[in-house]
Each structure stands twice: as C-alpha cells, then as structure tokens.
A and B are shown apart, each in its own frame.
Chain A
Amino acid sequence: MLNNLADFAKKASMAQDRRQFLVRAGCLLFTVGGARLWLTPAEARSRGADLQVLDAAQTRTLEAFGEILVPGAAEAGLAHFVDSQLAADPNDCLLVTRYFNIEPPYLPFYAGTLAGLESLSAERHQRAFAALGEAEAVALVRELGAGTPRGWSGPPAELGYLVIRSDAVDVVYGTVEGFRRLGVPYMPHILPPRPW
C-alpha cells in the first residue's frame, strides 16, 4: 500500500495542473513601489502594497465595514486578502463566495455591497461609512445582517453581510495567528502558506 501511495503521488505530480498559482511558501504576490514582493496580506497592508482590483474608496469602505464586523480585520489585511483573491483565477480563489452560488468574477458582488453600504450611510447620516461613529456604524451593520434595510440597493444585503463577515473572520481567526488569539492549538499537518 505504501508503495502504491508513493507511486500515485509521483504520477500525480508528473501530470501537474498547468495553471500557475500565485502563492509561494507562505505569501501572496503583491506590488510595492513597482517591485513584486511575496508578502502576507497584513505585511502588504502595512507596507502600502498596491491593490489590483479594489479602488481606494472601496478599500476604505471594506476595511471600515470589516472592522465593525470583526475588530482587528483591517490590520489583519482584510482588504489585501479580498483584493488578491478577487484577482486570482476563480478555481484558485480562497473566498467563501464559492459556497454561495455567486457567479465569478466576484468583484461586482463586493463592489455592489460596498456601494450599497455607502449609499445607506449617506442617506441616513450624510457621511461616508468610514466616518461614522462606532454606534452609528454598528446600528447600520445590524440592519444589513437582519435583512434588506429600507432603501437598500445592491446584492442581497444579508448575503453581503455574511460574506464579508466571513472574510473578516477568516483573516482574524482562521489563521495560525488567529488560533493563537483564541488560545487554541493550530496543530497543522501541513502548515498553510502564511498567514492562512
């Protein structure tokens, strides 16, 4: 049986999938000041790496939304994580959208949810979501999670809440660092590419 297993692994690797996957031991590929660097999303954020898909306004809203959903998400690199995955081949994408029968490319879904949140914030408070006080932001997000808020336009608000909440949970708790935050052992068989 052991021989079979080894043989199988060898044959499988000879027939390797041709698709290039943008990951190398630990990191994802980001561009900083014109140079391509392998960084973790948290590092990418702190070094101001370029985003490939999300624009500056979407990034601001995503980070603010993520921070209200799961404190620590912005610093953990939520925007760089989502951005890098939106840029990936759908078959290699690590986003939870894969479960939800959402047709790739996933950008319109994210863009629509973030734009919907901004319109809601403008309508209710005449300010950008990122400029809201904590209590105001929490109240708005609560409406999203409970269903479609009055005046909402965009993809189903509840789904947007679930997906982006899940992304934020992924970066804050779904990593080796995240397990440490919760005081539980990670116990990997194969350590995933850092930091996921």
Chain B
Amino acid sequence: MARDHAQVVIVGAGAAGSVFAAVLAEAGRDVRVLETGPVRRLEDFYSSQLWARRLKWAVPHVAETTRDPVWFNLNAGRGYGGAAAHHFAVWPRMHADDFKLRSTFGKGLDWPLDYADLQPWYDRVQDDVGIAGDAAAEVWRPPGAPYPLPPVPRFAQGEVLAKGFTASGLRVAPIPVAVLTRPYKGRPPCIWDGWCEAGCPTGALANPLATYLPRATAAGARLQPGCHVTRVLTDAGGRRATGVEYVDDKGSRRELGADVVVLAAFGVENVRILLNSAGERHPAGLANSSGTVGRYLTCHPSVFTFGLFDADLQNYMGLSGGQIISHEHWAKTGREGAFGSRQYEAAMALKPNDLLGIAMSRADLFHRDLERFMQRAARGLGQMVAVCEDMPLAENRIELDERRDAHGLRLARIHYRTSPDGLGLWREAVTEGERIMKAAGATEVWHGPKVAQHLMGGTIMGKDPAASVTDGYGRAHDVENLFIGGGGLFPTSSAVNSTYTIHALALRAASRLRDDQAALRTR
C-alpha cells in the first residue's frame, strides 16, 4: 500500500504552524497539520482560570534539572492554537540592535538578517491580524507601518501606574497588542473583561483560532488532532526529509510522507524531535552537524512587582497583558554587569486565583491574613512586570533525558541558568520596579520571584552552518526541505515578547517556501 503523503506536513497547530498552514494552503499546496493535542474551538474557552488549565500539558515531558526553572508547563500549550491559544498578545517589535549583538557590541550572537529584512513582514502580519497601539507615543518604536487600530484604553490602574513611571522619569505608551480596539476583518472588538489567559472566545485577540487557522482550513489544509510526531524521516543520504513518523489518536504508529516538513511544535519539542530523529547518517540528531541543536536556550528573566493602593484601581478591567509599556531602558550598554535591554508592562487585568492571580502574589499569606488581603487587593492591587534580556550561552540547553514517554521515545531535559547579564538586569528591575510602585502611591510594595517567560533558542538561525541549525528562513542547513518555526530560531532573546516576531519569521519563510518550487518539488 502506498504511504500516505502530503506536499507539506506541518508539526504543531500553534502560532508558527498556523501561519505556514495558511500561506501554503492558500497557494494551493496540499497541507497536513499534525497536532498532538485535541481540537480546540473558540467556544471551548470558558471564562475561568480553572478551566484554562486544560490548555496546558498535563504530563511533564520536560525534566528541569537546574536551579533556574524555565517553567515549561506554564509557558507551553497543547492543542489547536498551542500556547498562543491563551497568550496575552503583547506584540512589540524587536529593535534593530537586537539583530546584531555580536557585531555591534561583541556580546551574544548575530541574527542572519536585519531589522530591515523583517520589517515588511512585521507590517504584513500587523495588517493581517490587527494590532492596536500608538506609534507616536512609542518613541522607541523601530520604523514600520502605523498601527491599523487605535490604542487600548486606560482604566484606573493604568492611569495610576503611568503616574509612577512618569514620576520616576520613564516614559510610557499604550501597550501594543494584537487585540482589536475596533471591528477588524470580521472580528469583533475587545470588551476589556480580562479573560485573555483563559483564551479569548470572541476572536478579539489574535490567537491562531481567530486568525491563521481559519484561513488555513478554508483553503483546504487538513488538521489532524491527537497525532504526536515522534521523528522526522530522511532519505538514505540523510540530506532530505521524506516525511514524519507519528502516533495517531488510536495509539498506532504511522508515517506520513512529505515534500516539505515544517517543525512548529514549540522550541523544546522541536529539539526533542530532531534529537530523537538520529540515524546512521546523523548520529547526533537530525540537522545537528553543527552540534548546536538544543543549544543557546534563552528566556526572559522577569519579575512581577506589586503595589497595594487605597484607591479602587478597577484592576479587574482591561487585558491580561496590561495597559502600558515602557522601553525607556532599551540601551543595552552603560550598566555594569547588566548588558542588555529591559521592557516594562504594567496594569494587567487581575483575577483572584491561579499562578498569576491576586492570591498568589502573596503566597506566604493564609487563613485570616489572606482573607483580609484578598478583600483589599481585589480592587486595590496594582501589578507590573519587567521583562529582561537574556544572553545566549551554549551551555544552556535542551537535550534528551533517559526517561521515555508512552511511545518509548526519550523525553527532553533542560539545563538552564539565567545568564549573568540577565540576572544583573533582573536585579535592577527589582529595585526600580518597587520605586515606580511607590512613586505611583502604593502603600505597600513587594515583588515576586524570578520567573522565566518566552522560551527561545535551541534551533538557532545563523549564517554559519557550523555554528547554527538553520538559515535566515528557518531552513535547516543540513536538510534542504526541513523548515523550523517558532522562538527556537531566535539566536538572541531581545527583551520583547516573542510571538509577533515568530509570526513575522513564519510569514517570511512560508512566503519564500510558497515561491520556491525546488523545495516543493514533487516526488
């Protein structure tokens, strides 16, 4: 019997996978998306922090062995839409200097492309999905088309915290978000109820279920839920992918042939699939002749700062991602032991429970103390987060663990320690964050522990095939028809949330792939 075959096989129906699927299906390609998790529909997104937990992985398939956890299960997602199904859609652009750290500052790594290469793709994505912001107020914003939508409104929390920033000499702007402030391309505007973390069921927020996945399926892409991809298969020479191996929703091991394979299974799982695809021609894992698969894992060391106010902050209104942003501290140099940039996001809509909820902001309180705190904080708690740049270090890595999953394949293991520069930036943010909260008028101020946001690296792009996994389009140096999508491609972390850049890179790569007949040549 002939093996099942598709022109393009995409692994993962999340942020990057959905962009590839839409572009290639609309170009008439036969596209199949294999997704390990279940089908998700917008109407599955109940407004509840408890029900939101279904969107996460249940089985920890990543062992974290080092002192600084990267919180895989918190940062990842499973099922249609991936982590992006319930992401907060804070979408700033990376700055021009982020792409050239090594050549400009002698630190970190260079990207194989410039901001100017990516700018048109940022602009196109912005036009596709709708981003709200105020370009003039973002004095630090790199060049680009104006935002298609007016900025998010400010509620009391945003007003109060903005005063704290201004009093501390830091300019703020409305936070740029992929959330609609007006009807846009048939999708309704946001109503500011703060349920984004549970998944926005209206389509106001640019999660893949509201943006690229509907386009993909309308153009004929076939999505297969419950299909866990285990390996990429290659020809005898090991230079061409011939398809993927996967376990279907009934537990049967299957193969799906492909002219092109796109790995878009989130950074950690992409690495795991490549390493588990080791074969005679590539004993250290597929696409790993450089030895860099899994290396240069970065994340954003972040700190949440809290303040209690006597005023009613209307902190239950707005977006989970916040109302204001500041890149005042973008300059990467000038701080001893803390090279890199920092971003502040502030005035998030808060819910009482869950890891980012009000009660967890004071995990030490319980019993009557907690009761009193909850009554006060329910309207009086203000919150901001500092997102710090991390330096790429080869020793921060994803590798295979000895443990195996239900399919007999080795699980991923993460070794990670915050880079010294990232730690320096984080320490400064702790002090400055508390100062800002006090300047805003908080009567009590404190901060949370160091947390990791946005996992990046592991399959970095670069010009040199001996020192990176893919080229600037995410095409594996070693395997001509294997593409990778997602934050795993980032050689450096910047200090901005990663998903806008993930979209821009995916759109650029998918468009190139669409136009490149050689890559898509039939069997």
Interfacial residues, chain A to chain B (CB-CB below 8 A): 1-5, 7-9, 11-13, 15-19, 68-71, 90-96, 98-104, 138, 141-142, 145, 162, 165-166, 169-170, 173-174, 178-179, 182-193, 196
Contact = CB atoms under 8 A, between A and B. Distances in A.
Best-buried of B56, B58, B60, B354 by chain A (most CB within 10 Å): B58
A7 B42 CA distance: 12
B196 to A, nearest CB: 10
A77 to B, nearest CB: 13
Nearest to A21: B54
B192 to A, nearest CB: 9
B367 A5 contact: no
B193 A69 contact: no
B443 to A, nearest CB: 19
A193 B54 CA distance: 14
Contacts of B45: 189-190
A113 to B, nearest CB: 15
A8 to B, nearest CB: 4
A94 B54 contact: yes
A96 to B, nearest CB: 7
Contacts of B187: 1, 5
A17 B226 contact: yes
Contacts of B60: 101-103
Nearest to A4: B214
A173 B353 contact: yes
Given A94-B54, A95-B53, A178-B352, A190 B43 contact: yes
A8 B368 CA distance: 48
Contacts of A162: 363
Given A3-B186, A7-B214, A196-B48, 18 more contacts: A1-B185, A4-B215, A5-B214, A8-B214, A15-B223, A70-B371, A90-B58, A93-B54, A98-B58, A138-B366, A166-B359, A169-B359, A173-B353, A173-B358, A174-B353, A189-B47, A192-B47, A193-B46
Interface string B333-361: 00000000000000000011111011110
Contacts of B355: 96, 99, 166
B50 A192 contact: yes
Contacts of B354: 96, 166, 170, 174
Main secondary structure of the interface of B (DSSP, over half): loop
Contacts of B368: 71
Contact of A104 (B43, B58, B213, B215): B58
Interface in B61-98: 62-64, 69, 71-74, 78, 80
B51 A18 contact: no
Contacts of A145: 363-364, 366
B57 A98 contact: yes
Contacts of B80: 12
B249 A18 contact: yes
B209 interface: yes
A144 B237 CA distance: 58
B217 interface: yes
Contact of B366 (A5, A70, A98): A70
Contacts of A103: 59-60
B71 A99 contact: yes
Given A2-B186, A8-B214, A182-B375, A100 B366 contact: no
Interface in B238-267: 249
Contacts of B486: none
A94 B353 CA distance: 13
Contacts of B225: 15, 17
A44 B56 CA distance: 27
A181 B363 CA distance: 20
A99 B49 contact: no
B21 to A, nearest CB: 12
Interface stretch (B33-41, B141-149, B280-288): B33-41
A141 B186 CA distance: 53
A41 to B, nearest CB: 11
Contact of A1 (B214, B371, B379): B214
A184 B378 contact: yes
Contacts of B53: 93-96, 98-99
A166 B41 contact: no
Interface in B371-428: 371, 374-375, 378-379
A44 B210 CA distance: 38
B57 A191 contact: no
Interface string B192-218: 011100001111000001100111011
Given A182-B352, A184-B316, A192 B379 contact: no
B370 interface: yes
Contacts of A12: 39-41, 80, 223
Contact of B73 (A8, A98, A174): A98
A195 B164 CA distance: 38
A182 B367 contact: no
A189 B195 contact: yes
Contacts of A90: 58-59
B352 A71 contact: no
Given A12-B39, A94-B50, A174 B351 contact: yes
Given A101-B64, A189-B47, A190-B45, A17 B39 contact: yes
Nearest to B209: A8
B227 to A, nearest CB: 11
Contacts of A95: 53
Q: Which 9 A-B pairs have the closest CB atoms?
A: A1-B186, A174-B353, A192-B48, A188-B47, A8-B214, A4-B214, A182-B378, A17-B38, A90-B58
A8 B195 contact: no
A24 to B, nearest CB: 13
Best-buried of B47, B80, B194, B249 by chain A (most CB within 10 Å): B47
9 contacts: A98-B57, A101-B64, A138-B367, A173-B352, A173-B374, A179-B352, A182-B378, A189-B200, A190-B201
